[in-house]
Amino acid sequence: MSSQEIEVFTVCRADAIERGGAKGFNLSRIDESGESRPFPIVVLRTFGNDYHGYVNRCPHDGVWLNIGSGEFFSSDRAFIRCGRHRATFEIDSGFCIDGPCNGKALEPVALAVVDGDVCLCGVKLVEDNGFPDPFEDSDETMDIMIHPD
Ligand code: FES
């Protein structure tokens, strides 16, 4: 078990996300039983140039955080906000500070920026998955850039 290599997967170019922006990715991962599972994530880049990754799923009701408007942020962009019932999360910790899942947290995804690429670490991904796109009903939802102005 300890001999397993850490998987590293390039998600996107680091500069593909603006400072203060976010981008969703609809990935698939291999679970413990070898099955492929949908693995939607969101990568956020702060104005201070840190990158944070979370599973794109509200802990309260399990929906994508950007459901509806495609927006990941509160109107002042200071927090992540679920589009369904408006749970509000800290960007750097994923901790919910307001809303129906107050006290819970988003599931973090380990990221590293390597040679200008945002890379996902420690997750076995399916690069060409056979899953129907869960976002197909909401077209642009998973490829939204939020510009600081
Ligand atoms: S589903 Fe996210 S706050 Fe309700």
Give the model confidence (pLDDT) of 86-107 as tens digits.
Answer: 999 999 999 999 999 999 999 9
Question: Is there a domain that residue 149 lies in?
Answer: no
* pLDDT above 70: percentage of residues in the chain: 81
pLDDT-based confidence at residue 138 (cuts at 50, 70, 90): very low
* Total-model pTM: 0.81
pLDDT above 90: residue 127: no
Q: What domain range is 111 assigned to?
A: 8-127
| Calpha distance 66→6 (Å, rounded) | 29
98 lines ligand 1 (CB under 6 A): no
Determine whether the shortest distance from the Cβ of 133 to ligand 1 is under 6 A. Answer: no
141: in domain: no
Residue 67 pLDDT exceeds 60: yes
CB-ligand 1 contact for 57 (6 Å cutoff):
no
Domain assignment present for residue 40? The answer is yes
Residue 145 inside a domain? The answer is: no
On whether residue 142 sits in a domain, the answer given is no
Whichever domain contains 32, its CATH number is 2.102.10.10
Instruction: Report how many domains make up the chain.
Output: 1
- Assess if residue 134 is contained within a domain: no
Q: How confident is the model at residue 124 (pLDDT cuts 50, 70, 90)?
A: confident
pLDDT at 136 over 80: no
Burial class (CB in 10 A: 0-12, 13-18, 19+), 82: buried
